[in-house]
Structure 1
Amino acid sequence: MNLRKWFFLFWSTMAVGGVVTTIVGSVMQWSDKSFGFMGLEAAGFNAVMMALVGLLFGAFSQMGFFAYLTLNYIALGVIRKNYMWNALQAYTTLFALGGIGYLLYQDRVKLDNNMIFWALPLVLLLASWVVAFYKAKMTNNNAFIPTLFLQVVVTMLEAWPSLRGEESNVTAMIFMIIPMFVCNAYQILLLHRLLRKEQTADSASNAKPAV
């Protein structure tokens, strides 16, 4: 990963975060007039603010993504067996889903929602499964568990303020989790293409010219 490719991934992830956050926020604002900064009469102002927040979400998502890549590199160097590291990630993913469901169950009265404690983990698992399936299909089966881990565990860590903050509510969860999830999915599905292009370019530059 050279600097040019990293810069492309950085600004494009921020752009994805801005677009997705604006769309999600606009839909929520349209369905709930209490959502937003100044109501529907200031929809343009809200759209700009949502886009700016989305850019921050994109940058934060990339920090989490590269933190996971660093963790993955270190773990493979320490454990040295890919299947053991994948098994640990699978266990952690299931534990995280159960843990977040339990925490939301405890807060169901404050959140004023009796379904969120099982609906959120289930929807997150299904959506992550789809992303991991396509990642494995585009690369290899070894990418399935790491992608699932990224989409579940890393997304939950990035969206933690909306889950356990003093002002946490279902609206805040949706507004933060969806952009984070999409940004992570965008990065993991794009990563192998960027690396493949770089490897192809290096191979071409090292090839000897025909005589």
Structure 2
Amino acid sequence: MFVTTLLVGGLTVLAASALINWEGFQAITSSVEEFLAGAIFLLAVGMTFSAISQMGFFAYLLVNRLALGLFKSKKVWHYVQIVLILFTFFDLVYFRYIAFATPRETWLNYMILPTVLFIASLVFAYIKMRQTTEAAFIPALFLLFVVTTIEAVPALVTNDSVWVILMLSAIFVCNVWQLLWLHRLTTDDKKKSA
């Protein structure tokens, strides 16, 4: 899973870079050497973002287990995660607006990024729930929205739209990849040991 997640991160950044910066992407395709150098650089950047995603993913798995032991109830831990999801959504709007808004901008401009990330998180959390159990929905949503946001803080504080999109898309896709594959890997291990 480590190697495939690295490849997913690298290819996501390569594809996202071509989509959001087509003129720049065409500029490096003027020669084969420049194209290969640019592609290798973008793959390496994506793999770096993938490594951040993997660290966050496994950190969340540990925190999730600790929290389940601490709260002694899945429902309480789910409510805590819902509050943290709402708090993260608010922070993504409010703090970015306070830090980066120009006098003519409204806070509505800063609703776009968290809304898109939240909707995408809802979709894949629902897919995870359909593949496993209903109890997986809130943890999956938390991972895809809150943990992805935390992992993308280096890009979010720079407010460079290209880096925000590249880092967020790579981390989000890697988190989705890991989330949707984890239960398949652990189920196979259980079957082999039985």
TM-score by length of 2: 0.90
Taking a change above 3 Å as real, the CA distance of residues 104 and 140 of structure 1, as seen in their structure-2 partners, is same
Contact 1:18–1:54 at 8 Å: present in 2 too? yes
Unpaired segments ≥5 residues, structure 1: 1-8, 204-211
Deviation, structure 1 residue 40: 5.3
Pair 1:131-2:119 in alignment: no
Cα gap change, 1:119 to 1:156, in 2 (>3 Å): same
1:6-64 Cα distance to aligned partner (Å, 9 max, x none): xxx1111111101111111122231x53x89x755433321110001111111111000
The separation in 2 between residues aligned to 1:201 and 1:84, in whole angstroms, is 33
1:5 aligned partner: none
Q: Give the whole-Å Cα distance in 1 for the aligned partners of 2:106 and 2:42.
A: 25
Greater relative contact order, per chain length (Cα 8 Å cut-off, separation 6+): 2
1:60 pairs with 2:52: yes
Structure 2 counterpart of 1:73: 65
Q: CA deviation at 1:67?
A: 0.3
1:20 to 12, 29, 34: 12
Structure 1 counterpart of 2:176: 185
1:64/1:175 Cα in 2 relative to 1: closer, same or farther (>3 Å)? Answer: same
Matches within 5 A, 1:1-211: 9-30=1-22, 32-33=23-24, 41=30, 42-106=34-98, 107-109=100-102, 116-165=109-158, 168-203=159-194
* 1:147-185 per-position Cα deviation (integer Å, ceiling 9, x unaligned): 0000011001111001113xx311111011001000001
**Matched AA of 1:26:** A
1:116–1:170 Cα contact (<8 Å) kept: no
Distance 1:109 1:160 in 2: 21
Call closer, same or farther: CA 1:43–1:104 in 2, change over 3 Å. farther
- With over 3 angstroms needed to count, the CA separation of the structure-2 counterparts of 1:116 and 1:177, relative to structure 1, is farther
Return closer, same or farther for 1:62/1:189 CA change in 2, 3 Å cut-off.
Answer: same
Q: Aligned equivalents of 1:39 and 1:125: distance in 2?
A: 34
Distance of 1:188 and 1:66 partners within structure 2? 11
Question: Paired residues, what number?
Answer: 189
In the TM superposition, residue 79 of structure 1 has moved relative to its aligned partner by 0.6
Higher Rg of the two aligned structures: 1
Q: Which has the larger helix fraction? A: 2
For 1:98, the aligned partner's letter is: F
